[in-house]
Each structure stands twice: as C-alpha cells, then as structure tokens.
C-alpha cells in the first residue's frame, strides 16, 4: 500500500438567497469534478479524503437551511466580508453554528489538516466566504483551499485582508493538489497563495470518479443526475460560456471501462430513473462519439437506459443519418441553438454563417417532427448583450413556426455574466456598441445572485424588466404546452419570474 502523504476534506457549499426554482436546478447534481479529484488523490498518493455536501446535509440538519448569512460578535470577528455582508440574528446563528460544527465533527474534521471548498459557480461565492470564515475562526491551524470556476475567473476575490483562505487554485486542480500535498507546502503562512494550473492533465490517466465515497453518505435513490464525461474543455469558444479550458477527449477503451462501471452504479442507486447524461460540451465533436453510439446500440444499453447529450447544430449539417443513430441509441440531443437572430449568433461566437446555421436547425427539427422515438431539446439563451425586443421576438417566431411539437422540447435560460466568460472581459465593447449595462461584481451583493447576474440593461432600449416580462410571458405558455414538463417545477418557474418582474 502507498504511504499516506496527506489528507483533504472536501466541502460542497450551499447557496445564499436561493429560491425554490433554483433548488430544482442546483440541488440534484452530483459534484462530479470533486469526486474525480478525490479518486485521483487517493489512487496516486493514497491521500485520505472525505466529502461534505452542505446542500444535502440540510435533510439531516434543518438549521443549516439559511437564505442569508449571519453576523457574529464583531469584537471577536476580524473578517471584513462578514461585517459588511451579514445581519445580526443571534439565536438563528447559534442554531446554525451548532448544526454546522456537528456536521463537520461527524465527518471527522479533526482528522483533516486541509479543507477544500469547491466554489463551483459565482452563485456560491458568498456562502463559500461565510463557511470558510467560520471554519478558520474555529480551526485556525487548518489550511483552507478553494477552487472552481469562480476562483479560476477572479482569484483575487479570495485574497482580501484577513482572508480565511490559504490557497486559491486557478484551473484544473489535480496536479496542483498532488504537488502541494506531496511537497508539504500545505503549512499555511497566513497569506493567501494563488496557484495557476499551467499543465493540463491527461484525462485518460484519471481513475473512475469516487462516486461511492459520495453515494454511501448521500444514498438518496432516484434523485441524482448521473453524468458522464468523455472530454474536458470545449473546442468552441462561445462568448457566454465559462468552459473554455483546452479540449481533449478519452480513448474508446477508457470510455468502455468507465461507462460499464457507471451503468452498474446507476442501476444500484437510481433503479427507477435509469438515465445517464453525457455532459461533454459538444458530444458530436468528441472523436469517439459515433463509436460510442454504435456501442450503446449493439450492446442493447438503449433498452435499459435513457441517455442525453449536448451538441452543436453544425455537427449535423447534411447528416440526417447521424440523427437516426442517436435516436436508435435512445439519446436525447440538446442542441445549443441559442437564438434565431443573425446578429446575436455572430456576437455569441456561435457561427459566422448564421443563415446556414438557422437553416440547418430547421432541417433537424423537420426530421424530429416526422420520426418516432426520443425527442430533442432546443436550448435558447435570452438577454445576451445586444438583445432587444425585436431580436427576442425573432427567436419566438422561430419557435412558434418550427418547434411546437411533441418531439421538441424548448429549454430557455437567461444569460448570466460569469466573470470568466468573454463577455465579462469585454464589457466596455458591449456598453459602447449596444448601451448594455452590467453589474461588475454582482456576486458580492447581499441579494439573489441569480437575478443580479442578469444585465441591468440588455441594450439601449431594452431593460431588465422588459426582458423578464417578455421571457415569462412567452416561455411559460410554451413550457406548459409541452407534455414533458412537471407541474410542480413549472409552478416554481412561474412564481419565481412573476415575483421577480413585480420587484423590478
């Protein structure tokens, strides 16, 4: 057995200011990236790991369910984040603190020198700061490491005066963590250190993710979304996307090995929802994608499991037979169409030939309307800088003319200005060209970050309120008409957007 060279307790943070609609989006996903890191550390260097998911611990500790941060006695508190972003509710805070540390003690925090917090999205920034400060106040000698998309985009957000964080990781974490733990750097010098991942790991060397570490602690059958990655990064560079790491994919042999294990896990833990989502940003660009489809069909996995994936529209240009193969594999394709407005498609970096792009989408939809089998999903993005009432209506006209069919699901979302996307880095350009107005550090505001991430003004004559009004009025009827929507989920959607519109 390998000699143990270190330890790391992973924490998945919750969200502050979250509402029921967002819980539907963010509470059922398994933290696959963290589980991949855990398996790598354990297999390569025998590093001891454990995991705490504070989203799910609320089922055991109801007092952990909070919407806003608390403020403790300022005489004992030196952290400026909590002083300026919290409120004084002593009784509630005492109950939260008691439950929080009970949870940590049960997971064996005393056995760990290093705490790793996965600040996966900017939406979790406030909660990440909140719990890191609590941990540092109670356990000042423990090293706190933070990684994820937000630290990758703005690592300086974690280096403020009296920051509880010892190490901030930009980019992929596996190789950095191995070096830190093996070299003994994790001693903590009182100042935050930023480590930039310069080398991309060979994903074919990664062991199977540490699913069972997680699922044995959170065995909520038929609740989780099981995802499978055959690649990292994305070969495209859309202006709204944060997944802009270098693209590479696994070998077919690696796929078969991990896919077989995942199918067994899904059968054990989700017996009534046998579904696997291929989470690659563009399944069709993975070099082995067609071999994977053939493997699923030939081995009859499609008789037992439902599959889904995301793919680009142009991957199916003049390839109707390829769509047939996806349907035979019982795989739902989510097409990243985004908009029917030619100018916006160019601004989004989706295509340089928008007319041809839209025509290809129309041909794909015609195919689905004539065939039986799995439906397809059309992903649409509203509120991108430069959007106006005309461009919004242009997309709605496309939907009404081409997409109102039982085999076509519409999946709309609002543009969020994440700090590591092209738009965020080029806000001056959009301000000058379209009159767009942004909230630069929206994740630091003491209110719902999901709402704050949407532009204050999408374009010169199109305000946030106008956008939300168009969005809720047009998409609710479409979502309600489609036969696959769950009434409870749709009700949460309607309440969220109606209330938001009234607040604007």
My answer on whether 31 and 159 are in the same domain is yes
pTM summary value: 0.92
Distance of CA 122 to the CA centre of its chain: 10
Of 280, 311, 342, the residue that ends a domain is 311
Work out the average pLDDT over 297-318: 92
Dihedral sign, Cα of residue 129, residue 132, residue 134, residue 140: negative
Confidence of residue 74 (pLDDT cuts 50, 70, 90): very low
pLDDT digits (tens, 9 = 90+) for 184-209: 766 555 679 999 988 889 999 999 99
- Gap between the Cα atoms of 329 and 296, Å rounded: 6
For position 190, what pLDDT does the model report? 65
My answer on whether 175 and 291 are in the same domain is no
Strands (E), 197-234: 226-228, 231-232
φ, ψ dihedrals at 496, nearest 5°: -60, -50
My answer on whether 152 and 272 are in the same domain is no
pLDDT digits (tens, 9 = 90+) for 340-391: 999 999 999 999 999 999 999 999 999 999 988 799 999 999 999 999 999 9
- Gap between the Cα atoms of 306 and 13, Å rounded: 30
Q: Is the pLDDT of residue 44 over 60?
A: yes
Is 436 within a domain?
no
pLDDT digits (tens, 9 = 90+) for 385-417: 999 999 999 999 999 999 999 999 999 999 999
**Burial (Cβ within 10 Å: 0-12, 13-18, ≥19) of residue 341:** buried
Looking at every residue in the chain, the average pLDDT score rounds to 90
My answer on whether 49 and 119 are in the same domain is yes
Is 26 within a domain?
yes
Residue 85's CATH number: 3.40.50
pLDDT digits (tens, 9 = 90+) for 121-136: 999 999 999 999 999 9
My answer on whether 305 and 166 are in the same domain is no
**Of 13-17, 80-84, 95-99, 475-479, minimum mean pLDDT range:** 80-84
Distance of CA 449 to the CA centre of its chain: 14
> Using only C-alpha atoms, what is the Rg of the chain?
23
Confidence of residue 73 (pLDDT cuts 50, 70, 90): very low
Find, among 123, 171, 154, 153, the residue nearest to 26 by Cα: 123
My answer on whether 188 and 267 are in the same domain is no
Domain count, the chain: 2
Find the helix packing angle between 289-298 and 320-328, rounded to 10°: 40
- Percent of the chain past pLDDT 70, that is, above it, reads 92
My answer on whether 250 and 176 are in the same domain is no
Confidence of residue 72 (pLDDT cuts 50, 70, 90): very low
Q: Is the pLDDT of residue 75 over 50?
A: no
For position 77, what pLDDT does the model report? 43
Range of the domain at 104: 7-196
For position 186, what pLDDT does the model report? 61
Q: What's the CA dihedral at 80, 81, 83, 84 to 10 degrees? A: 110
- Gap between the Cα atoms of 334 and 43, Å rounded: 34
My answer on whether 17 and 151 are in the same domain is yes
Is 452 within a domain?
no
For residues 131 and 54, is the Cβ–Cβ distance under 8 A?
yes
For position 71, what pLDDT does the model report? 53
For position 174, what pLDDT does the model report? 94
Work out the average pLDDT over 248-254: 94
Query: Which phi-psi region, left, alpha or beta, contains residue 458 (left: φ > 0; alpha: ψ -120 to 50)?
Result: alpha
**For the chain, how far is it from start to end, CA to CA, in angstroms?**
60
Q: Is the pLDDT of residue 59 over 50?
A: yes
Going from the C-alpha of 70 to that of each of 76, 135, 366, 451, 476, the distances in angstroms are 14, 14, 54, 21, 36
Is 228 within a domain?
yes
């Amino acid at each position: 057995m390998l000699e143990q060279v270190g330890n790391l307790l992973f924490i998945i943070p919750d969200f502050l200011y979250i509402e029921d609609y967002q819980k539907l989006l963010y509470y059922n996903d398994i933290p696959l990236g963290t589980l991949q890191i855990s398996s790598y550390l354990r297999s390569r260097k025998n590093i001891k790991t454990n995991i705490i998911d504070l989203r799910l611990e609320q089922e055991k500790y109801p007092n952990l369910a909070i919407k806003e941060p608390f403020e403790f006695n300022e005489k004992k508190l030196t952290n400026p984040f909590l002083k300026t972003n919290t409120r004084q509710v002593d009784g509630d805070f005492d109950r939260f603190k008691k439950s929080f540390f009970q949870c940590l003690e049960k997971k064996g925090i005393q056995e760990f020198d290093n705490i790793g917090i996965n600040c996966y999205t900017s939406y979790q920034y406030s909660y990440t700061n909140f719990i890191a400060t609590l941990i540092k106040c109670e356990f000042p000698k423990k090293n706190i490491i933070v990684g994820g998309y937000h630290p990758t985009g703005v690592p300086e957000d974690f280096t403020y005066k009296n920051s509880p964080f010892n190490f901030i990781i930009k980019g992929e974490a596996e190789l950095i963590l191995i070096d830190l733990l093996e070299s003994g750097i994790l001693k903590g010098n009182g100042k935050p250190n930023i480590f930039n991942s310069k080398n991309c790991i060979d994903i074919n060397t990664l062991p199977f993710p540490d699913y069972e570490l997680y699922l044995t602690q959170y065995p909520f059958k038929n609740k989780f979304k099981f995802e499978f990655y055959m690649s990292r990064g994305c070969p495209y560079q859309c202006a709204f996307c944060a997944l802009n790491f270098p693209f590479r994919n696994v070998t077919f042999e690696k796929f078969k090995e991990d896919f077989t294990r995942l199918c067994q896990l899904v059968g054990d833990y989700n017996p009534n929802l046998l579904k696997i989502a291929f989470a690659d940003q563009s399944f069709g660009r993975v070099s082995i994608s067609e071999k994977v489809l053939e493997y699923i069909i030939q081995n009859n996995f499609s008789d037992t499991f439902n599959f889904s994936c995301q793919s680009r529209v142009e991957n199916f240009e003049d390839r109707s037979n390829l769509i047939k193969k996806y349907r035979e594999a019982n795989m739902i394709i989510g097409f990243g169409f985004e908009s029917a407005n030619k100018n916006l498609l160019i601004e989004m970096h989706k295509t340089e030939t928008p007319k041809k792009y839209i025509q290809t989408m129309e041909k794909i939809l015609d195919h689905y309307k004539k065939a039986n089998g799995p439906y397809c999903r059309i992903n649409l993005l509203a509120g991108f800088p430069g959007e106006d009432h005309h461009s919004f209506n242009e997309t709605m006209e496309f939907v009404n003319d081409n997409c109102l069919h039982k085999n076509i699901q519409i999946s709309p979302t609002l543009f969020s200005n994440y700090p590591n996307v092209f738009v965020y880095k080029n806000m001056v350009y959009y301000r000058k060209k379209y009159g767009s107005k942004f909230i630069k550090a929206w994740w630091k505001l003491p209110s719902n970050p999901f709402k704050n991430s949407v532009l204050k003004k999408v374009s010169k004559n199109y305000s946030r309120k106008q956008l939300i009004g168009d969005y809720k009025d047009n998409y609710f009827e479409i979502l309600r008409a489609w036969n696959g929507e769950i009434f409870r989920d749709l009700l949460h959607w309607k309440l969220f957007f109606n209330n938001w519109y009234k607040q604007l």
